[in-house]
Structure 1
Amino acid sequence: MVISRGRQERCMLLEGYNNSMSSILHFVPSLLTRTSRSCWMRVRSTDWWERVVMKEFSDTEWKDNFRMTRRSFENLCGLMEGVLSPQEVTVCAPIPLQMRTAIVLYKLASCVPCRCKPVWNAQINGEKVCLLLLQRVSSVIHKLIKEPTMEEACATARRFQQKFSMPQIMGALDGTHIPVLPPSDGYKDYVNRKGWPSFVLQAWVDDVYRFWNINCNMPGCAHDVNVLRQSTLFSQTHLLPKEPQDINCTSVRLFLLGHPAYPLMDWLIKGYTCSPRLTTEQESFNVYQSSARTTVEIAFGRLKSRWRVLLKRSDFHFTFTPHVIATCCALHNFCEGEKETVNPAWSEKAAGLERDLPQPGLRSYNKTECSGGQETRRTLTEYMGANFPLRRALF
């Protein structure tokens, strides 16, 4: 009897609670004020883009904002048609292909938030759209950056020899540091020897400042040797063009020029370590080698002058920064192929920004060198000393 009475009381309490809640929920809707949506989408004016940019911009204005003339811009849009073409949507009209391409170019060239300048008149959320578009653009990098064929490598070697006298050079290899906004966890891994966080861009460049191979995934604390060993270039050296040539009764294959931080190999030739014991021929070889290697330094300068995003800590997430770097290198190759010049004012601005974040110095590689590389360098030293004027370093 006691248990039954307790159950009855609990049931009565539960029923009363349910009745009271039902009454409250019945009156709540009448207490709330309903507001109707004023609009589903705000209409934005496209006059700035369609009339001013597309019809009235001069070539100078096109280059200042997008780093290329309108003719080159149209060619680039044709290349990006399969990647950036808008899809059909039901809510609002899609952003046209030309505007999408312009958003990417303007962001990379200026490194300012897309909302800061009305190139497209605030029609869109520029930052979010720019990130999405860059993700798509990065998928066509392989079309603009690819290793040369045997014919292209031989043609490059002939041009190098005409300009710098040294035979069998198919390019120069070097690295540069690109600023990044690093994560708080693991910050030290990105800090280089100058004290600022970066990614290392390693690039193989030809005599006309085009990139044939790049690697930009290593953090700033990495030594140049480690960057090289972690690159696809190092793991696939057996696929590089060889086309050996007989020089002083020695077979010399096509090779790249490197700086002192790299190891000496038969496909990567660097100069002799500076020492008072160097012979006149060895010192002269260093001068010729350094002169030819300036092509990669010029290429880096032109790259950063065009795409100022590479000179600042951009607002991109650090995991996406390598995609941005690779996209800039690909667009650089496109501009060089279109014969687009670099405005001296861009270079002056870039030089000023680089002074704020100076590049780390080189740390020489002093371990045992490859015997094949030593033989190739000795053969080239003898050939250059016997056939060309001996040169001395100015410092």
Structure 2
Amino acid sequence: MSRQSFMKLCELMKTISPEEVTVRRAIPLAMRVAMVLYKLGSSAEYRLIANQFGVHKSTVKKFVYMFCKSMVQGPIKYLIRVPTEEEALYIASRFEASYHLPNVMGIIDGTHIPMLPPSDGYKDFVNRKGWPSYVLHAVVDHQFCFWNISCKMPGSAHDASVLRNSDLFQKAHLLPKGDKIIEGESIRLVIVGDPAYPLLPWLVKGHLSSPWLTPEQESFNVYLSSLRVGVENTFGILKARWRVLLKRSDFHFTFTPTVIATCFALHNFCQLQREHINWLEEAATPDGIYPQPAQPANVNEHGNHERAVVTGYMATHFPLRSGHLY
């Protein structure tokens, strides 16, 4: 992170500034923020960070908890938010320019974050690959920024269950509509997901793979898959920046979602500041230790009409593509 971006972040996190009256010399705000970024960016032990900054390890832990709690109580509301209709239409125009799919305002996907589970209820957190985690779901825009996240469900939950228990699902009626006439039909703005999600009027996924797929449906799946790569790349950038998400952290399991949300907000901050990202290759290596669980396809489909219209539109206006991406 550049010095300019670091100072902007310090200004954003003024709530953890030292008090005016203290018993001993207070630790400056910049040093507090630096310790937190060191912890989240490296997943180092408190003892190591304390040695680097010349403080006690309990001091480092205190500031990490203060920073994360302060982030989710204030700045995160401005860094991660549902786009307005105007912003959603702009996102859709950028997606369409790159991938040809019309009226897409976001891509949704999930990933599992390792965590230290409680002894009581341990099995609830064990995912399909046999390791404890939180299921993290997020919606991504064209700039690799997240505009909606959900990180409160244990690892054993299915993606569709996580969606149903999220604010996104509960407040779907408030999402931007941005109706557009496609093939003579009025189609609203939609979010694109993978086969594990249900098909809804505002959430589109590919046609389920089968020997009876038409060339038009297969082509639609390929176009959709090329678009969904964006959310996987965004998760890679997120974990490369904040490597605390790559390892089983030493945070209490009730506090881990707060840390995860903080990392997402910091990711958006860095993206908006156009910060360069390193260590992308390193972020991919822990997948051998914590392989991401695959989710079975969801057959609950209530948006067939919208998907059929877009499938026909893509087949009419763009070359048919074939592949085995789904």
TM class by shorter chain equals over 0.9
> Unaligned regions of 5+ residues in structure 1, if any?
1-67
Matches of 2:135 and 2:237, distance apart in 1: 17
State yes or no: 1:296 paired with 2:231.
yes
Q: CA deviation at 1:115?
A: 2.1
Q: CA deviation at 1:131?
A: 2.2
Matches of 2:118 and 2:21, distance apart in 1: 36
Q: CA deviation at 1:388?
A: 0.4
Matches of 2:259 and 2:91, distance apart in 1: 28
Contact 2:36 2:63 in 1 (8 A): no
State yes or no: 1:267 paired with 2:202.
yes
**Number of positions where the alignment pairs a residue of Structure 1 with one of Structure 2:** 322
State yes or no: 1:383 paired with 2:313.
yes
Amino acid at match of 2:243: R
Q: CA deviation at 1:355?
A: 1.7
Q: Residue deviations 1:189-213, cap 9 Å, x none?
A: 0000000000011001001110000
Q: CA deviation at 1:377?
A: 0.6
Contact 1:283 1:393 in 2 (8 A): yes
Contact 1:84 1:137 in 2 (8 A): no
Amino acid at match of 2:72: S
SS of structure 2 residue aligned to 1:119: helix
Contact 1:113 1:127 in 2 (8 A): no
Corresponding residue of 1:99: 31
2:295 corresponds to which of 353, 362, 375: 362
SS of structure 1 residue aligned to 2:47: coil
Corresponding residue of 2:3: 70
Q: Residue deviations 1:304-341, cap 9 Å, x none?
A: 00000001111100000000000000000000000012
Corresponding residue of 2:245: 310
Matches of 1:392 and 1:239, distance apart in 2: 36
Matches of 2:298 and 2:241, distance apart in 1: 32
Counterpart mapping for 1:19-58 below 5 A:
none
SS of structure 1 residue aligned to 2:53: coil
How high is the TM-score relative to the length of structure 2?
A: 0.96
> Unaligned regions of 5+ residues in structure 2, if any?
none
1:133 corresponds to which of 47, 67, 76: 67
Matches of 1:167 and 1:90, distance apart in 2: 58
Contact 2:178 2:189 in 1 (8 A): yes
1:216 corresponds to which of 151, 165, 169: 151
Change over 3 Å in CA distance of 1:77–1:129 after alignment to 2: closer
2:187 corresponds to which of 247, 252, 259: 252
State yes or no: 1:241 paired with 2:180.
no
Q: CA deviation at 1:133?
A: 2.9
Q: Residue deviations 1:120-147, cap 9 Å, x none?
A: 2236632233223322233221121111
Change over 3 Å in CA distance of 1:246–1:362 after alignment to 2: same
Matches of 1:79 and 1:136, distance apart in 2: 10
SS of structure 2 residue aligned to 1:116: helix
Change over 3 Å in CA distance of 1:184–1:237 after alignment to 2: same
Counterpart mapping for 1:84-163 below 5 A:
84-117=16-49, 118-122=51-55, 125-139=59-73, 140-163=75-98
Q: Residue deviations 1:151-203, cap 9 Å, x none?
A: 11000000000000011000101100000100000000000000000001100
Amino acid at match of 1:377: R
Counterpart mapping for 1:274-353 below 5 A:
274-343=209-278, 346-353=279-286
SS of structure 1 residue aligned to 2:54: coil
Greater Cα shift, 349-358 or 226-235: 349-358
Aligned-residue identity in percent: 54
